[in-house]
Amino acid sequence: MNQTVIFFLILSFLFNVLSIFAIILLYLRQNRFARAEQNVNKMVKEIEDIFSVYLMELKEENDAFIKKMKAGRMKEASPAEKAGPETGQPGSETKQPPETEETAELKSDALIQVSANRAYRNAARQISGEQSDGQLQEEKSLLQKVNDLQQNGYTVDEIAQKLNKGRTEIELLLKFQTGRG
Q: What is the per-residue burial (b if ≥16 Cβ within 10 Å, else e) of 131-166?
A: eeeeeeeeeeeeeeebeebbeeebebeebbeeeeee
Q: What is the per-residue burial (b if ≥16 Cβ within 10 Å, else e) of 61-74?
A: eeeeeeeebeeeee
The confidence score (pLDDT) of residue 92 equals 47
**Alpha helix stretches (DSSP H) within 77-132:** 79-83, 101-130
In single-letter form, the type of residue at position 91 comes to G
User: For residues 164 and 140, is the Cβ–Cβ distance under 8 A?
Assistant: no
The confidence score (pLDDT) of residue 88 equals 47
CATH of 135-181, one of 1.10.287, 1.10.150, 3.10.129, 1.10.10: 1.10.10
The confidence score (pLDDT) of residue 23 equals 96
Stretches where the chain sits below pLDDT 50 are 80, 84, 86-94, 133, 136
The confidence score (pLDDT) of residue 103 equals 65
The confidence score (pLDDT) of residue 141 equals 74
| Domain range summary for the chain, segments of one domain joined by + | 1-60, 135-181
